[in-house]
Amino acid sequence: MNVDDISQVTVLGAGNMGHGITEVVAIAGYDVVMRDIEQDLVDDGFESIKWSVEKLSEKGIVSEDAETVLDRIDTEVDLETAVSDADLVIEAAPEQMEIKKDIFSDLDEFTPEDAILASNTSSLSITEIATATSRPEQVVGMHFFNPPVKMDLVEVIYGAETADETAEATYEFVESIDKTPIYVRKDVNGFVVNSVLGPFSDEAAWMVSEGVADIEAVDAAMVHRRGYPMGPFELSDLTGIDIGYHVRKEAGRDIPPIVQEKVDAEDLGQKTGRGYYDYEDGGGTTYE
Ligand code: 3HC
């Protein structure tokens, strides 16, 4: 598959990453199907895209009117229907290997034989996901960052059997949606960015768990003194505390007590209305 042959894209998952990726792909002019397992999830994802595209269009950041962009998006629940014409599938399902393998096994069955099968996994092995298919040379990592519409970088990750042709077409596709790709040439846990962010986030969580400093103090230190756009706790609330939890588990790292506490309480960040900070009733971060 060559990048010029990609016209129909399917995104699997309508959560934060799935709807964000769908939006970016549609803004770039591709026809895209967004699929999730329940109609409510797909509808919620579509509403989030609508809110975002309308805002970006009003501000002139997106040059077309919102309707034109939204018209390129179809929503679907049935997997076979969603992927049967896809040139490129970007999977953004929950971070559990069994779920990913089931999906890739279905993709092997239902997608056109030359389709590129990409995973947006942040921590799972591309090589292992690819074993669920009979075409591991067409399986690649395509890792976006949250929120996809605002974050420029996309990691293009080689699994052990990914063909150069697949990785190159994926890289060029990322450029075509106005993002900046980098190749990750080895399928290491966390790839490049999460390998660096992991210890940063762990250190912050252990410090708070051990009473060294408060959440607000750590976030304020990193934002006001280090110049980061967000502190580690604010960032976890944005990306989802459960995502960081699964990444740590997958990497065999110990879970800091404060993280375990939030996961047990199902306070997972902005998406549940509460995480390290309380977002209900218009709330948000409390550091100054
Ligand atoms: N669509 C449209 N508009 C949006 C929007 C969206 N998705 N998100 C925010 N906006 C709007 C806001 O509503 C606001 O509009 P207003 O001025 O009219 O009120 C405007 O954009 C500015 O918003 P903010 O002041 O909140 O935010 P900034 O634009 O300054 O930056 C940010 C937001 C890009 C998220 C920045 O804080 C940032 O870079 N944070 C770090 C994010 C990061 O590191 N992400 C990577 C996480 S790791 C990851 O994803 C890996 C995974 O594997 C876990």
The domains located in the chain, with CATH, are 3-184 (3.40.50.720), 194-276 (1.10.1040.10)
**pLDDT digits over 93-131, tens only?**
998 899 999 999 999 999 999 999 999 998 899 999 999
Q: What is the pLDDT of residue 120?
A: 98
Active site residue 122: yes
Instruction: State residue 253 phi and psi, 5-degree precision.
Output: -90, 150
Q: How far apart are CA 114 and CA 116, in angstroms?
A: 7
Taking the CA of residue 143 as reference, the ligand 1 atom at the shortest distance is 53
Which residue from 49, 55, 123 has its CB within 8 A of the most atoms of ligand 1, so it is best to mutate? 55
Q: How far apart are CA 142 and CA 176, in angstroms?
A: 14
Q: How far apart are CA 58 and CA 127, in angstroms?
A: 42
Q: What is the pLDDT of residue 95?
A: 87
Classify residue 137 by burial, with Cβ atoms within 10 Å: 0-12, 13-18, 19+. middle
Nearest CA to ligand 1 atom 14: 55
Q: How far apart are CA 73 and CA 234, in angstroms?
A: 31
Positions in the chain whose pLDDT score sits under 70: none
Nearest residue to 246 via CA among 128, 32, 130, 95? 95
Q: What is the pLDDT of residue 250?
A: 81
Task: Please tell me which residue in 120, 125, 143, 216 is annotated as part of the active site.
Answer: 143
DSSP sequence for 216-279: HHHHHIIIIIT--SS-HHHHHHHH-HHHHHHHHHHHTPPPPHHHHHHHHTT--BGGGTBSSSB-
Collapsed DSSP state (helix, strand, coil) of residue 14:
coil
- Token code pair at residue 193: 């960015």
Q: What is the pLDDT of residue 80?
A: 98
Q: How far apart are CA 236 and CA 127, in angstroms?
A: 27
Residues with Cβ within 8 Å of residue 186, at least 6 apart in sequence: 158
The answer to ipTM > 0.95 is: no
Q: What is the pLDDT of residue 251?
A: 83
> In whole angstroms, what separates CA 220 from the centre of its chain?
26
Instruction: State residue 212 phi and psi, 5-degree precision.
Output: -70, -40
